[in-house]
Chains A and B, each alone.
Chain A
Amino acid sequence: MTKYYRAAAAAAALMVVAAGAIFLFSPTDALQGPVQRIFYLHVSSAIAAYGCFGVVLVGGAAYLRNESATGDRLARAGALVGLVFTTVTLVMGMLWAKPIWGTFWTWDARLTSTLVLWIIYAGYLLVRRLAEPGRQAARFAAVVGIFGFIDVPVVHFSVTWWRTVHPGPVIINDALPPQMLMTFLLTMACTLVLAGVMIAIRYRIETLMDQAPLAGAVRAIVHSEPAR
């Protein structure tokens, strides 16, 4: 257990470093003011979320190909962590949008596809819970994960296409001066490390839960032996 605690502490420390960079190192945006600082974590979260979905895809595909229990556990871990990051992305996006755009929501490609991403993750976790535990749940979830992974860019593309006919109220400008760019890259790296650690911890939890039926028998044996 110690190595997981240590990894978690390291990831948390990295996030503190990133926070320092965000608030102290990066300059205040001329146009948007301090609110702009949300952007660093918001975009990093989005990238981490989609990365987690990639893990779900790979794990699910591995499971479908050869019933890999590792793949299935990885997919489960990735989905839960990814849902957390997607929620963070959506909330921070809305917090940022209100002062900047004057509205919490606008149906542009990125927001729409992130919302769809959230819904698909939620569907994935529901299917896992409601299907027959074991092979059926793993199989169905893998299929949902694969279709979901393909759907998000398709939705993104569709909304972008649609926006050429129905231009939205806002244009997103991605140009970044060097100090901001460095801050962003640092934050993204730290967030990805955090996501990785969270997935690893969740993977361990899933492994333990899979072994639970044996745990009862093991506990019985362990308790009958003299303590060390």
Chain B
Amino acid sequence: MSTIVAHELTQRFGAELALDGIDFVLDKGEHLAVLGENGAGKTTLLRILSTAVRPTSGSLQIFGLDALRERTRLRARIGFVGHAPGLYPALSTAENLEFFCSLQGVDRARVAETLALVGLSHAARRPAGRLSRGEQQRLAIGRAVLHDPRLLVLDEPDASLDSGGPDLLAKVMLGRSAVLATHDRALANRLCQRTLVLRAGRALGAATRLRVVR
């Protein structure tokens, strides 16, 4: 059973056509890179895959479930990192994660593990608003894996990460299926096996194997 089966995904905002009939399949454990210029539709596609929004038309199956109907069940198994970190600046790093533990229904012990995983144990008590942009992004990534999801959907996670970023991404993506949107072809090369290139809402060809550029 494939992790994701997307068929003819289309997204309209009024008269604007953001996505036009996207098809692709993601197998278990595979990492797919979504490439394209700004405005090509990468974020729109990833938000649909994360179940944050529903497409105007098309079908989407994740873990064999209809992603348009079973969103609550799927959300426990998907981790999403979007453009904005969406953290609570007045709460500490650890408190942010503890709060999401309550929402996810996972044990508090996961907080310490996750902080260690993303390298923020030293900042556990610091208010999230006083983290650097790179640290905030690490926290957002930590939140995305707090509940040990089987699928990660990452929208340009490398954009504000500091130098250890790619290693961190490799670590969290290990053993999970992942869809990663990025501008950085080298990163896509390193972390993903296949690519999907978007231009003006359409896919350029089927998802192909990346050629590794040496």
Contact = CB atoms under 8 A, between A and B. Distances in A.
A212 B14 CA distance: 10
Contacts of A178: none
Interface residues of B, number: 7
A73 B128 CA distance: 45
Contacts of A133: 13-15
Contacts of B17: 213
A209 to B, nearest CB: 11
Contacts of A29: none
A213 B56 CA distance: 14
Contacts of A212: 15
Contacts of A20: none
Interface SS majority for chain B: loop
A132 B14 contact: yes
Contacts of B13: 132-134
B125 interface: no
Contacts of B150: none
Contact-size category for A:
under 10
B54 A134 contact: no
B12 interface: yes
B51 to A, nearest CB: 14
A98 interface: no
A133 B14 CA distance: 5
Contacts of B54: 135
Interface string A104-137: 0000000000000000000000000000111100
Interface in B20-75: 54, 56
Interface in A10-49: none
A132 B16 CA distance: 11
A110 B56 CA distance: 42
B19 to A, nearest CB: 13
Nearest to B12: A134
A226 B39 CA distance: 39
Nearest to A133: B14
A140 B20 CA distance: 26
Given A134-B56, A135-B54, A213-B17, 4 more contacts: A133-B13, A134-B12, A134-B13, A135-B56
15 contacts: A132-B13, A132-B14, A133-B13, A133-B14, A133-B15, A134-B12, A134-B13, A134-B14, A134-B56, A135-B54, A135-B56, A212-B15, A213-B12, A213-B15, A213-B17
